[in-house]
Amino acid sequence: MADFPDVPNHGAGPTRFKRALDGAASVSMILAAGFVIAVSWLGYHRQNTSARPAPPPLPTTPVSLAGAMLRGDRAAPAVLIVFSDFQCPFCRAFTQQALPKILQGYVAPGKLLIAFRFFPLSIHPFGDLAARAALCAGEQNRFWEMHDQLFQSPQLNDSVLNESATAVGLDLVALKACEAMPRTEEAIQEDVRRARELKSTATPTFFLGRRQTDSTVTVLSRILGAQPFEIFQGEIDKVTGDGAGK
């Protein structure tokens, strides 16, 4: 077979150039797509941030403590009103994490009075039943014992309610009779009505303020959710003015 002289490959240069152009085009497309995604995300974030409703205003008139379950010195200068649901996991978190420190730092020294209000949510099937049990435990002077016992369990059911009542030494016959009374449910719904009047929609919700001589509270701040103790500490210190919980 005859040998052919080497012939210059004139197509190699244009091919490399075309590949370079294709690569640059791909990179540009990727960057453009990333830019579009980033702009879209920022627009969505701004839209959602601006659409987020402002917190409701604080009540302009003093809030009554009538009928609330009280814990602490009735003459304490500051009051923390708690709207809670025994089946709410965030209420349970507050009770187990922040509340013990609040009790030690503020309630025990007589700086703070806690006022518990029932706010069972419709999404919790045992919330109302637990509220009735706790309210009726209060008629046997065991409300706070039942409160603490109910919040020990991550789940609520009929067995837990019965076991909790037994654990705190309740008269079960009297308890069941009280739970069945119409006035028991009426008292719970009265608390629910108070919560809605104060523009509360979730649990736990807290209202902190100064106690007045007529058993009302001038609300100074609203705290939402199971916040860490430091959040409560900062707000309570503003009311007490002495940093007793530090």
- Here the CATH number for the domain that contains residue 155 is 3.40.30.10
DSSP secondary structure code for residue 103 in this structure: I
Q: Let me know whether 31 and 105 are in one domain.
A: no
- Residue 10 domain-assigned (yes or no): no
Classify residue 225: in a domain, yes or no. Answer: yes
**The tokens of 101 are what?**
């420190």
Give me the number of domains the chain comprises.
2
Instruction: State the number of CA atoms in the 13 A half-sphere of 241 facing the CB.
Output: 4
Q: Are residues 34 and 144 in the same domain?
A: no
3 state SS of 12: helix
Distance CA 51, CA 34 (A): 25
Q: Assess whether 95 and 187 both reside in one domain.
A: yes
Is 36 in the same domain as 70?
no
Which residues lie across from 84 on neighbouring strands?
118
The answer to whether residues 109 and 227 belong to one domain is: yes
Q: Is residue 194 part of a domain?
A: yes
Q: Is there a single domain that holds both residue 117 and residue 24?
A: no
Instruction: Judge if 41 and 92 occupy the same domain.
Output: no
H-helix or E-strand containing 138?
Answer: helix 127-138
Taking the complete model, does pTM exceed 0.95, yes or no?
Answer: no
Residues 168 and 92 in one domain: yes
- Classified as helix, coil or strand, 224 is strand
Per-residue pLDDT of the chain (246 residues; tens, 9 = 90+): 444 344 445 555 556 555 655 555 555 555 555 554 454 455 545 544 445 567 789 999 999 999 999 999 999 999 999 999 999 999 999 999 999 999 999 999 999 999 999 999 999 999 999 999 999 999 999 999 999 999 999 999 999 999 999 999 999 999 999 999 999 999 999 999 999 999 999 999 999 999 999 999 999 999 999 999 999 999 999 999 875 444
Q: Is residue 125 part of a domain?
A: yes
pLDDT at 229: 98
Q: Which domain holds residue 32?
A: 18-46
154 and 205 belong to one structural domain: yes
CA distances from 220 to 23, 30, 123, 212 (A): 63, 52, 30, 13
Beta bridge partners of 116: 69, 82
